[in-house]
Amino acid sequence: MPEVRLVGPNGEQVGIVPIAKALELARESDLDLVEVAPTARPPVAKLMDYGKFKYESAMKAREARKNQAHTVIKEIKLRPKIDPHDYETKKGHVVRFLKAGDKVKVTIMFRGREQSRPELGRRLLQRLADDVEELGFVESRPKQDGRNMIMVIGPHKKKTARGQEEAGTA
């Protein structure tokens, strides 16, 4: 006769009982008999309210998703021959994005003869990376992609206010 190791609704061990007896106990206590470890010898079954279990696990999954940080990539486009004031404006945007915790994809667009001078774009990207290095780090080095040169700057991991409080009270 097939048997299962039965675990009670509060996690207490009931022992090894025949399946018919386990089903009867489940019916008496108005709970479900759920197989938890089918590969064990004998298999392990637990008395629980399965609907409530499913609901609680769905709520835990939703809570975990809510707490996940989703990364946003913002894009800034520049030209190799950019005016100093325009450069400062674009740099201000990059600073704002990094402070908000977003990644920034900096694209330099080359036109015509500018394509034969990729070092101008590389120099401009390096200057931008140096200007914002206290807020972010270069995640992917500048690389040529057809008419464009692309670099990604990611924000530094900042300490949360809660983490600082815990460090101060400890």
Distance CA 74, CA 100 (A): 11
Give residues with Cβ within 8 angstroms of 105, minimum separation 6.
73, 74, 75, 76, 150, 151, 152
108, 149 Cβ separation under 8 angstroms = yes
Give residues with Cβ within 8 angstroms of 150, minimum separation 6.
105, 106, 107, 108, 140, 142, 143
Query: What is the per-residue pLDDT for 165?
Result: 44
Length of the chain, in residues:
170
Q: How far is CA 46 from CA 6, 23, 79, in A?
A: 6, 10, 66
pLDDT digit of tens for each residue in the chain (170 aa)?
Answer: 688 999 988 888 888 999 999 999 899 989 999 998 889 889 999 999 999 989 999 999 998 888 777 778 899 999 998 999 999 999 999 999 989 888 999 999 999 888 888 888 899 999 999 998 888 888 889 998 889 999 999 888 764 444 444 444 44
List, in sequence order, the alpha helices (H) in the chain.
Answer: 19-28, 50-67, 84-99, 118-131, 161-169
- pTM as predicted: 0.54
- The token pair at 67 is 């707490």
Distance CA 131, CA 151 (A): 14
CB burial of 42-66 (b: ≥16 within 10 Å; e: otherwise) equals: eebbbbbeeeeeeeeeeeeeeeeee
- The token pair at 151 is 């670099």
